[in-house]
Amino acid sequence: MKTVSPYSGESMRVVKTMCARDCPDACWLDVTVDNDTVVKVEASTENPVTNGLTCPRAAGDADRTNSMDRVLYPYLRKPSPEMGYKKVEWGQAIKKVAEKLRTTIETHGRESVLLLDYAGNTGFITIGYSKRIWNALGVTMTDYTICSASGHAGINLHYGLRYGCQPMELEDKKNIIFWGFNAKTSSPHQWALATRARRINDAKIIVIDPRESETAELANLWVCPKPGTDVALAYGVAHYLITNNLVDDGFISTFTSGYDEYKQEALKWTPKRVKKVTGVSWEGIEELCKMLREKPSVFMIGLGLNKSLTGAESCRAVSLLPALLGQHRGFFYTNGTGRYIQGDLFGSTLQEKPSKTVSMISLGERIAAGEFKFVYVVGMNPALTLPDSNRVIEGFKWDDCFLVVHDTHITETAKLADVLLPATTYLEKDDVYVSDSHPFVRLGRKTIEPIAESRDEHPLMIELARRLNVDESWVHVDPWVDMEKNFREAFIEGDFKDFLEGKPMQLRHRPMDEYNTETGKIEFASTSAPEGVSPIPIQMEIPIEEGEFIMLNSAVPQYTHTQFTDVYGDIPCVAWINPEDVEKMGLDPKAKTTIYNDLGQLIVDLKPTNQVPSGVIWCPRELIDSEGNHQNSLTHGTPQLIGGGPMFNTIRVRVRQ
């Protein structure tokens, strides 16, 4: 099945497409092309959620597509690392990859091969169908826990599936609580809808965050708990609602189970205890809860909340609060599981040889130990984005670790590759993208021909499959034909053929009052909690010693992880610190400062500010200092108990000058 070409034969044209970035907003974009060159990327007005607004990343895609940092040709590393790379023909490069892959499997076994991929491009063909060859080979895969997995797992314990509020519903809310969610930066369209609700519906915007983020600065109320104390804060809110008869008893008796156990725990969180643990005064909790008297409310749970020692527990605790108020799924985390897209796009259930799965969070230890002899990287920059990044880099440098990187740009990981292959950006191929928040989709169209010798992931994987004699039919299936079957029940109106013709479409959404739990209800006390996990949320203690800080990190507007430094320059190498800590430690605010722990160090500029409380340091994600030290060199590779996610926001550090 072929897509309809957008080309008109004219020099100047506008191509309607959709953003492929790992972002909940998934903008619809109008891309201006002149002589097969992207000259401007603007927001489309045809999507009711992303209507006419886009972020600096999408706006910078014209420059990023034409960047001097693009990988334009295949390269092989010369015999000595000091000698750099040599440009080769595609045939030579793919032959080298195929031969090395075949030899590695024959010599060391399929588990010695690691596919290391993530969502640098979220297209179903790019990250889905391209993965089928690796599943057919039965190589080692990761558990893909680097981003949101622990929050998913935590919320699933109580709801079965973690979908919730649709962005379009924000305008009807009276209270919008952004909990660990800097929406103004990381989801500007949901922020725009929230501010519209405030303007037309007198809604109140409440932010709960240990940093006064861009969102917190503009909120009606900012609540600042100590990092990782969100379960205690949630129980404090529950305590107030219960003791002030603000709980919807009828809803609880009809649609929930396990409430008595949860209530018993909530009542233990007295005002004194909550303040001691969270640092938040009971007056602050009263102010928040008085706002909640007006209904409906929605709790917007940020991905940053789930990236800590207490991440899964925090997400599950917050997700239960709207049930107290009598609301079905009155939260938002991600909405991917609320769709009716069927089938196994990745092929993980179609293989005869089940793949070994390893923790993405603890990969540094495995790679440094030489466990993998062949690593194929696509759609991510693991040298900077994985925890324990020094050990990741150490392992990639081993002589017996053959590293292949397929990327659009010369990343820190690409610089370590034995074979470097040029990839197309999302503007150079057709694909299918689905938002994690809103239900609106349109075909992601190719806007220009691939630059230089860049190649799409899927055709490259099909060629590799042929060279390795991987002949399973499900590997070689036409993705466009297969997706027609996957999307058979996905749309409210129309079908996949309409979608391929470029028509704007809307995905169906599962019922808000449907719960995929054993009881068929919201489970305040989970019946599916595995051994060692409490049925109700628990407040974990974050051990911290005298003189230590908790270092937080989050996104800044111009960057998606390590992308866009070629457009906007280096990520600012700055650390926010409370003035009290500066004075107490006798620090010179104008002097270079070292943040360090047992894993590594960062040399940063200090920014004394009351936007972070005492004992907390905040840095932009993922910075590199002037000496080449990178932020995740300070992050331990220990996964969370629930969901196996990272602990990027529970990094314990010290400071010296």
Tokens standing for residue 29: 């974009």
Amino acid (1-letter code) at residue 386: L
Distance, CA of 337 to CA of 163 (rounded, Å): 6
How far is C-alpha 620 from the chain's CA centre? 15
If pLDDT is split at 50, 70 and 90, which confidence band does 5 have?
A: very low
Q: What is the pLDDT of residue 81?
A: 57
What mean pLDDT is reported for the chain?
A: 96
Instruction: State the CATH class of domain 75-145+353-506.
Output: alpha beta
| pLDDT single digits (tens) 308-323 | 999 999 999 999 999 9
Helix (H, G, I), strand (E, B) or coil at 237: helix
Tokens standing for residue 151: 């929050």
Distance, CA of 192 to CA of 52 (rounded, Å): 11
Element (H, E) at 108: helix 90-108
| pLDDT single digits (tens) 292-303 | 999 999 999 999
CB distance 448 to 435 below 8 Å: no
Amino acid (1-letter code) at residue 71: V
Phi-psi sector, 520: left (phi>0), alpha (psi -120 to 50), beta: left
Distance, CA of 385 to CA of 621 (rounded, Å): 9
Q: Among 451, 169, 477, 243, which Cα is nearest to 345's?
A: 477
The neighbouring-strand residues paired with 140 are 114
Q: Taking each helix axis from N to C terminus, what angle separates 90-108 and 457-467, rounded to the nearest 10 degrees?
A: 60
* 434 Cβ contact partners less than 8 Å away, ≥ 6 residues apart: 26, 122, 124, 336, 339, 341, 441, 507
List the chain domain ranges: 12-65, 75-145+353-506, 149-333+515-523, 549-656
Tokens standing for residue 547: 């003189």
Helix (H, G, I), strand (E, B) or coil at 557: coil
How far is C-alpha 436 from the chain's CA centre? 10
* 512 Cβ contact partners less than 8 Å away, ≥ 6 residues apart: 164, 328, 329
Amino acid (1-letter code) at residue 128: G
The fold adopted by the segment(s) 549-656 is Barwin-like endoglucanases (2.40.40)
| pLDDT single digits (tens) 408-467 | 999 999 999 999 999 999 999 999 999 999 999 999 999 999 999 999 999 999 999 999
How far is C-alpha 75 from the chain's CA centre? 30
| pLDDT single digits (tens) 88-98 | 999 999 999 99
Q: Where are the alpha helices (DSSP H) in 387-478?
A: 389-396, 457-467
| pLDDT single digits (tens) 233-287 | 999 999 999 999 999 999 999 999 999 999 999 999 999 999 999 999 999 999 9
Q: What is the pLDDT of residue 354?
A: 84
How far is C-alpha 210 from the chain's CA centre? 20
Q: Would the pLDDT of 186 be above 80?
A: yes
Any idea which residue has 């099945």 for tokens? 1
Helix (H, G, I), strand (E, B) or coil at 409: strand
Helix (H, G, I), strand (E, B) or coil at 626: coil
Q: Among 11, 19, 18, 20, which Cα is nearest to 39's?
A: 11
Average pLDDT over residues 117-122: 96
Q: What is the pLDDT of residue 102?
A: 98
Tokens standing for residue 298: 């929605």
Say which CATH superfamily domain 149-333+515-523 falls into: Dimethylsulfoxide Reductase, domain 2 (3.40.228.10)
Average pLDDT over residues 64-79: 95
CB distance 377 to 405 below 8 Å: yes
Q: What is the pLDDT of residue 462?
A: 98
CB distance 354 to 323 below 8 Å: no
Instruction: State the CATH class of domain 12-65.
Output: mainly beta
Element (H, E) at 408: none
Helices (H) and strands (E) in the chain, counts: 22, 26
Q: Among 300, 359, 338, 312, which Cα is nearest to 151's?
A: 312
Helix (H, G, I), strand (E, B) or coil at 327: coil
Q: Among 42, 35, 40, 60, which Cα is nearest to 564's?
A: 60
Distance, CA of 386 to CA of 631 (rounded, Å): 10
Q: Would the pLDDT of 1 be above 50?
A: no
Tokens standing for residue 514: 């449907």
**Gyration radius of the chain's alpha carbons:** 25
Percent of the chain at pLDDT above 70? 98
If pLDDT is split at 50, 70 and 90, which confidence band does 181 have?
A: very high
If pLDDT is split at 50, 70 and 90, which confidence band does 10 have?
A: low
Measured torsion, CA atoms of residues 415, 420, 426, 427, in degrees rounded to the nearest 10: 100
Amino acid (1-letter code) at residue 417: A
Q: What is the pLDDT of residue 352?
A: 81
Distance, CA of 505 to CA of 502 (rounded, Å): 9
CB distance 164 to 193 below 8 Å: no
Distance, CA of 120 to CA of 406 (rounded, Å): 11
DSSP string, 262-322: HHHHHTT--HHHHHHHH---HHHHHHHHHHTTSS-EEEEE-GGGGSSTTHHHHHHHHHHHH
Distance, CA of 515 to CA of 523 (rounded, Å): 9
